[in-house]
Amino acid sequence: MTTSSLSPYQAPEPRQGPDFAGTALEGIAPVIVLVGVALLALYRWIVESDRKAQRNHIRGERLAAYRVRHRWKPSDIRPLLSIGVSEVAQRRMAALKGRGRPVVKPHRPFEGELVDKLTRFCNLFRPDATPSERRRSLKEGPWWKHEVEALYRGELAQARAMRIKGAYDHAERAIAATLRISQGKVHAICTEIRAMRRSDAGSANFPAMTLADYDAWMECGKLPMQLAE
């Protein structure tokens, strides 16, 4: 027996071949790095967006409070403290007198406000929402004034087509009666939205809608174009 012979108990040495695992890993390594960088950038963007949203939310609460500062009462002190007003506002608070209900809303966490907004939006189209829920959600939402002005254009066009005398006044009165607001309020809202459209046509371009369309929407949660399908 030669010294080069293998013992029956000695395992043969493994053959050396190409390292496919190492080659594959080297190939995807740059991809892994890019994905990691992208995820890190996404995380930072989410954190920064949330921070800005939180800041804008509290600024909005303070701005709303400052707009009614001439109506503040002692009962507003606690809500004002909850939103962290300025030193100037705190000096005004120290001199408050009188009685009555507060006009300032207390601080509400941004997350809760976001949930409320999503709920209001969903109520407009949820088939199981009641007409009163839809009306309340629309009135409390950010599109309320735009919808009032869109209704005015729809009713005005219809009144003109029917050759109703005083079409402008007729449209305002009809909308005021349906929405349960004053005719003066309808006029003021329409004036505001028209001014907005003159400065930026894309910011106030809701399609015209008649009160019949509005009632159908509030009743079943479907817009006129959906009902026509």
> CA-CA distance, 82 to 73, in Å (whole number)?
15
Residue 9 lies in a domain: no
pLDDT score for 44: 82
Does residue 87 lie within any of the structural domains?
Answer: yes
Q: Is the pLDDT confidence value at 158 over 90? A: yes
Q: How far is residue 65's CA from residue 76's CA, in Å, rounded to a whole number? A: 9
pLDDT at residue number 43 = 76
C-alpha distances (whole Å) from 2 to each of 6, 13, 14, 126, 183 are: 9, 18, 21, 89, 114
Average pLDDT over residues 195-213: 85
Whether 211 has a pLDDT exceeding 60, the answer reads: yes
Per-residue confidence (pLDDT) for residue 214, from 0 to 100: 92
- Note whether 155 and 84 are same-domain residues: no
- One domain, residues 74 and 138: no
- pLDDT, mean of residues 165-189: 95
| pLDDT > 80? residue 51 | yes
- Residue 145 has phi, psi (to 5 degrees) of -65, -40
Range of the domain at 130: 110-224
pLDDT of 22 strictly over 60: no
User: Domain total for the chain?
Assistant: 2
Residue 202 and residue 128 share a domain = yes
Amino acid at 160: R
Rounded Cα–Cα distance for residues 193 and 151 (Å): 12
Residues 144 and 68 in one domain: no
Q: Is residue 49 part of a domain?
A: yes
Q: What share of the chain is helix, strand, coil (3-state, %, to 5)?
A: 70, 0, 30
Residue 15 lies in a domain: no
Same domain, 119 and 191: yes
Assigned domain for 2 exists: no
Beta carbons within 10 angstroms of residue 193's beta carbon: 21
Q: What is residue 10's predicted lDDT score, i.e. its pLDDT?
A: 56
Q: Is the pLDDT of residue 39 over 60?
A: yes
User: Mean of the per-residue pLDDT values for the chain?
Assistant: 83
Calpha distance 126→123 (Å, rounded): 5
Report if residue 4 sits inside a domain. no
**pLDDT value at 12 more than 60:** no
| 136/170 same-domain check | yes
Q: How confident is the model at residue 47 (pLDDT cuts 50, 70, 90)?
A: confident
- Report d(CA 30, CA 8) in Å as an integer: 47
Name the more confident of 204 and 122: 122
Mean pLDDT across 122-128: 83
| Domain membership flag for residue 14 | no
> Does any domain span residue 17?
no
